[in-house]
Each structure stands twice: as structure tokens, then as C-alpha cells.
Amino acid sequence: MKFSAEQIAGILNGTVEGNPSAEVSALAKIEEGFEGSLSFLGNPKYEEHIYTTKSSVCIVNNTFTPSNSLPDSLTLVKVDDAYACFAKLLELYDSMTKEEPRIEQPSFISDTATVGESLFLGAHAYLGKNVTVGNDVAIHPNVTISNNVTIGNGTIIYPGATIYRDCVIGANCIIHAGAVIGADGFGFAPDANGEFQKIPQIGNVVLEDNVDIGANSTIDRATMGSTIIRKGAKIDNLVQIGHNVEVGTNSAMAAQVGIAGSCKVGNNVMIGGQVGLAGHLKIGDRAMIAAQSGVPGDVKADTKVMGSPSFDIDDYKKSYIGFRRLPRILTRLQDLETKLKELTKDK
């Protein structure tokens, strides 16, 4: 589908500088642009590429003033926030690729399941007993929805994901391929013989609205009660969240984060990749945890921590400077010891 610069400006409430009839049918990075593509410039460090880009249309901020000649073939669409506007167009493009409602075969829907309007159900998908599915839901091939699961309106579940019994999925969630929601928490107790006895995990997982779960991530069901991922939380690929964890509203965590059981993560928390949280911790609102940190204790609200074990990020950076200097310090110490021995050997 093609859009003119004038149409794009209308969608984004922007203004056109150049040819309003310039057409685009694809999206591209500004440095990789080609004829018929749409790009954006939001970060000044990429400005050099706008003077050589082959894109036909580029979205820029209203404050952008060229410092060199722009290509004759380039038309600008000026907006208040180029990055946000380009994201809006990406969302629009993504919506245009949405699967048409249909139920592919073979697939299985229990006689006791309830499904809403405009359902896309891919081949080999399974909906168990008493499942409730809202309107405009897309369930891709090879997805398993176990008994008593509820799925809200507009949610998308990609191929191979599994949602265990009794879990609740909110509206407009995205669950990517291979994710497992509601597997048993890691609950075992050693008996008198030192053998592990399994503790039944009878709770569930609750994803509130607008939650994203990355590919191959796992969220364990609660021992009792619920493991809860609050509204707007974003979880990257390959994340493990243990039983009875609560993740707050609009918190985000990058790939390979591991959160042990019963942690309470506050609102608007940012957790970098490969962070590990010990069990039963409290992470305060708006805390930030740098990548590869190991967190053994609570983190206060509005603080930044780093390292393993983690501590204040500014203190960590100072300590790291000292750590990097250790080889030179050791060399100087050895030199001093040698000189001291030479000065004292004849005494």
C-alpha cells in the first residue's frame, strides 16, 4: 500500500516541506533508505545520514534545520516528536498485517469454551474446558490454552505459546512464541531422608492489560494466590519469573532476567539484561538495576544499583575505576618492595 507525504502529514498532524505527492510503500532506517521508503530522524547523531539518504520521505522534528543541502528527491514531514510519530506509523503498519478472523483446521475448541467475535485461531491450536476468549483475539498455530483460562479483548498469542490452567490474560496483551504462562513454581521440600517432595502449586498467573511477554519467557504459577504482572509491564525474551512474584505497573525488564519467588517489583522499575533477583525482595518504584547485576537485598525507590552483589551505581563506578587500576598499583607495590629490600639488605 502506498501513502503520499501529504497523507502521512495528515495522520501525524505534521507539515510537508517538499513534494506533497511523494509516495512511499516501505519503511527503512535513514542510513539504509531507498526510493519509495519512509525514514525518520529523531537523534541528532544520525543527522549526517539525512544528507545522503535515498529515502523519498523523512519524518523530522519541527526544530530541525538542515546544515547542508538535502537530496533533491527527499521530502520532509515535520512533526513535534519524530520518534513518537514514526512509532505511531509502525503501529499502523503492524495493524495492517493483522490476521483476518477465521478458524483454521485442524484445531480444537472445547464444547464448554466461549469465544468472542473476530477470532483468529491458527491450525493445531487447542482451547480447553471453560476457556473464555474475548473479541478480536489472535491465537496463532500450535498454541495451547488449558482449562479455565480467560483471555481479554485484542490479545495476541504467537505460535507455540502455552498457557496453563486457571490463568488470566488481560486485554491487548502480546505473548510471543514459545512463552509459557503458568507452569509450576519451583516448590520442593526435603523430607527426613533428604528426598525432595513436590509442593503442589495451586495458584495461577494474572497478566493485567497491555502486558508484553517476550519469546521463550516463563512465568510460574503461584503456590497459592497469584503471580501478577501489572498493567503495561514489558518483559523481554528469555526471562524467568518465579512463583508469587508481583511486577508493578509499566515496569520493564530486558532479556535473561531471573526473578526468584515472592519478589515484589514496584511500578516503573527498569531492569537490565541478565539481572538476577534473590527471593522475597522488594524493589521500590522507579528503581533502576543495571545489566548483569546480582541483587541479594531490597532496592529502595528512585535508586540506581549495579554490580554483583549490587550497590549504588555511582559508588560502583568509583570502585570499578579503582579495580581497573589494581594491576598498576600491584606493579608499583612490587617495585617499592624491591627497592625497600635493596635499601635494607646491607643493614
Question: pLDDT value at position 13?
Answer: 94
Q: How far apart are CA 248 and CA 228, in angstroms?
A: 8
Q: Is the pLDDT of residue 345 over 80?
A: no
How much of the chain exceeds pLDDT 90, in percent? 84
Mean pLDDT of the 98-126 span: 96
How much of the chain exceeds pLDDT 70, in percent? 99
Single pTM value for the model: 0.84
Catalytic residue status for 243: yes
Ramachandran quadrant class, 274 (left: phi over 0; alpha: psi -120 to 50; beta: rest): left
Q: How far apart are CA 291 and CA 313, in angstroms?
A: 11
Element (H, E) at 331: helix 313-344
Dihedral sign of CA atoms 74, 79, 82, 84 in order: negative
Mean pLDDT of the 314-338 span: 87
| Confidence grade of residue 343 (pLDDT, cut at 50, 70, 90) | confident
Domain ranges of the chain: 3-96, 161-309, 312-344
Q: Can you give the chain as a three-state secondary structure string?
A: CCEEHHHHHHHHCCEEECCCCCEECEECCHHHCCCCEEEEECCHHHHHHHHCCCCCEEEEECCCCCCCCCCCCCEEEEECCHHHHHHHHHHHHHHHCCCCCEECCCCEECCCCEECCCCEECCCCEECCCCEECCCCEECCCCEECCCCEECCCCEECCCCEECCCCEECCCCEECCCCEEEECCCCEEECCCCCEEECCCCCEEEECCCCEECCCCEEECCCCCEEEECCCCEECCCCEECCCCEECCCCEECCCCEECCCCEECCCCEECCCCEECCCCEECCCCEECCCCEECCCECCCCEEECCCCEEHHHHHHHHHHHHHHHHHHHHHHHHHHHHHHHHCCC
Q: How far apart are CA 199 and CA 128, in angstroms?
A: 25
Q: How far apart are CA 26 and CA 38, in angstroms?
A: 6
Q: Is the pLDDT of residue 322 over 90?
A: no
For the ranges 83-97, 113-127, 130-144, 146-160, the lowest mean pLDDT is seen at 83-97
Q: Which architecture does CATH list for 161-309?
A: 3 Solenoid (2.160)
Question: pLDDT value at position 321?
Answer: 86
Q: Is the pLDDT of residue 195 over 90?
A: yes
Nearest one of 124, 130, 97, 93 to 111, comparing CA atoms: 130
CATH code reported for the domain at 3-96:
3.40.1390.10
Mean pLDDT of the 72-101 span: 89
Considering 49, 124, 243, 280, which one is annotated as catalytic?
243
319 versus 138: the higher-pLDDT residue is 138
- The answer to whether 280 and 240 have CB atoms below 8 angstroms apart is no
Question: pLDDT value at position 347?
Answer: 59
| Confidence grade of residue 93 (pLDDT, cut at 50, 70, 90) | confident
Q: How far apart are CA 130 and CA 145, in angstroms?
A: 10
Q: How far apart are CA 139 and CA 333, in angstroms?
A: 66
Q: How far apart are CA 12 and CA 16, in angstroms?
A: 11
| Confidence grade of residue 325 (pLDDT, cut at 50, 70, 90) | confident
Q: How far apart are CA 220 and CA 203, in angstroms?
A: 9
- Mind listing the pLDDT tens digit for each residue in 240-289? 999 999 999 999 999 999 999 999 999 999 999 999 999 999 999 999 99
Mean pLDDT of the 142-151 span: 98
Residues 6+ apart with CB under 8 A from 55: 24, 28, 30, 33, 34, 37, 38, 39, 74
- The answer to whether 173 and 213 have CB atoms below 8 angstroms apart is yes
What angle, 0 to 180 degrees and rounded to 10, lies between the N-to-C axes of helices 82-96 and 5-12? 110
Element (H, E) at 90: helix 82-96
